[in-house]
Amino acid sequence: MPKSARDEFIQMNVARSEAKYAMIKLIRSGRTLREAKSMMKAGSVGLTKEYAKGGDLKDLQNLEGGLHRIGKYRQQAQGLLKVKFAPRKMNSTREEHLAKWAIGYKGQLPLSWKRDGNLIRRGRPNKPRPGSSMGKIGKTRVIGAKKVLKDFKGLIGTLQEMMRKHGKGNTKALQKAYKSVRTSIQAKG
């Protein structure tokens, strides 16, 4: 492995280890469920491929992209024909983007992974121990994303067909469905 690629790999692993450490400490300190930024950090680590299934991540990404497009176009009848449930461009990592959507975080992305005040160690730093988070962070469970995605695709398809056939769609039903979607993240353990 070339030296620059190896250094980049090591740097990436150090950053990921730091994120895992922050998640574990934030959950154990009880701050995760009270503070949006802490919850955002924990959520973005929980939505990595290491802890969540790839299919669940793809479903969440498609659902978020489609709901974003519905929210963007719901006032325009013509725009309804452009709605599709597919991932959209992000200004951060997929994990941070999905965590922001699921939590309803209003801050800017990308997140600063600098340690919070209560996580800064006093004294000499410990050496990093690869794999020390094993068994401390459980698998992420995504509940209901596949069904909601399927239902929204069916609703959009029906509305698009109505628009093609009769020239107008039931945008009130779309607005009601859009507003009924709820997301939440919780830590167990």
Is 84 a residue whose pLDDT tops 80? no
Is 189 a residue whose pLDDT tops 70? no
pTM for this structure? Answer: 0.67
Is 98 a residue whose pLDDT tops 70? yes
**For the range 136-139, what are the long-range contacts, defined as Cβ-Cβ under 8 Å and sequence gap of 24 or more?**
136/24, 137/20, 137/23, 137/24, 137/45, 137/46, 137/51, 138/51, 138/188, 138/189, 139/51, 139/52
Is 73 a residue whose pLDDT tops 60? no
Which residue is associated with the tokens 């794999």? Answer: 131
pLDDT tens string 129-170:
888 878 888 888 889 989 988 988 888 788 777 777 776 656
Cα distances from 35 to residues 29, 31, 48, 174, in angstroms, run: 12, 6, 21, 32
Which residue is associated with the tokens 């919070």? Answer: 116
The pLDDT value given to residue 56: 92
Where residue 77 falls among pLDDT bands split at 50, 70, 90?
A: very low
